[in-house]
């Protein structure tokens, strides 16, 4: 991008998209600059929010994995075969069966949950929960 005062030159813009934006902007009484500024603000809003949410998800997952390791070491043998629910790095509950564990996790408002069977090697499965993915 080249910036000369108020003039900005952008390379590799799709000509058809450019023409469509220019036409719609003119129909709305916008300058092309105003239309592009609004489009860029929207792009930033979408992409910054998505990036922030993903980074928060990764942080929660890391905390949950550490908590699972701690609980497996501390309670794995004592509660062998039971299911642990860890959401956003916090122990939520230890359940007697898998169905109960999924129901408890599904009711949480957490960004990320782990359900694991205590005393056993953890296998990863992705489960769709509403609008997100639970691992």
Q: What is the pLDDT of residues 52-93, one digit of tens each?
A: 888 888 899 999 999 999 999 999 999 999 999 999 999 999
Report if residue 53 sits inside a domain: no
- Are 36 and 67 part of one and the same domain? no
Tell me, what's the pLDDT at 3?
55
d(CA 73, CA 79): 11
Report if residue 54 sits inside a domain: no
- Are 73 and 125 part of one and the same domain? yes
- Are 41 and 74 part of one and the same domain? no
pLDDT grade for 135, boundaries at 50, 70 and 90: very low
Report if residue 19 sits inside a domain: yes
Question: Do 113 and 87 contact (CB within 8 A), yes or no?
Answer: yes
Give the total number of structural domains in the chain. Answer: 2
d(CA 25, CA 114): 48
Report if residue 56 sits inside a domain: no
- Are 93 and 125 part of one and the same domain? yes
Report if residue 55 sits inside a domain: no
Tell me, what's the pLDDT at 131?
47
- Are 14 and 72 part of one and the same domain? no
pLDDT grade for 43, boundaries at 50, 70 and 90: confident
Question: Do 68 and 113 contact (CB within 8 A), yes or no?
Answer: no
Question: Do 88 and 57 contact (CB within 8 A), yes or no?
Answer: no
Q: Could you please report the per-residue DSSP string of 8-71?
A: EE--S--HHHHHHHHHHHHHHT--HHHHHHHHHHHHHHHHHHHHHHHHHHHHHHHHHHHHHHHH
- Are 82 and 39 part of one and the same domain? no
Closest CA to 111 of 83, 90, 132: 132
- Are 94 and 120 part of one and the same domain? yes
d(CA 35, CA 67): 48
Residue span of the structural domain in which 122 resides: 62-134
Q: Chain-centre distance of CA 91, in angstroms?
A: 21
- Are 37 and 67 part of one and the same domain? no
């Amino acid at each position: 991008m080249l910036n000369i005062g108020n003039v900005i030159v952008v390379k590799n813009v799709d000509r058809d998209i450019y023409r469509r934006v220019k036409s719609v902007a003119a129909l709305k009484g916008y300058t092309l600059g105003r239309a592009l500024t609004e489009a860029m603000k929207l792009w930033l809003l979408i992409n910054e929010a998505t990036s922030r949410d993903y980074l928060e998800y990764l942080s929660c997952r890391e905390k949950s994995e550490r908590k699972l390791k701690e609980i497996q070491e501390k309670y794995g043998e004592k509660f062998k075969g039971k299911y642990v629910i860890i959401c956003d790095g916090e122990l939520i509950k230890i359940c007697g069966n898998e169905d109960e564990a999924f129901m408890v996790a599904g009711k949480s408002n957490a960004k990320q949950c782990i359900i694991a069977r205590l005393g056993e090697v953890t296998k990863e499965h992705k489960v769709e929960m509403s609008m997100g993915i639970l691992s």
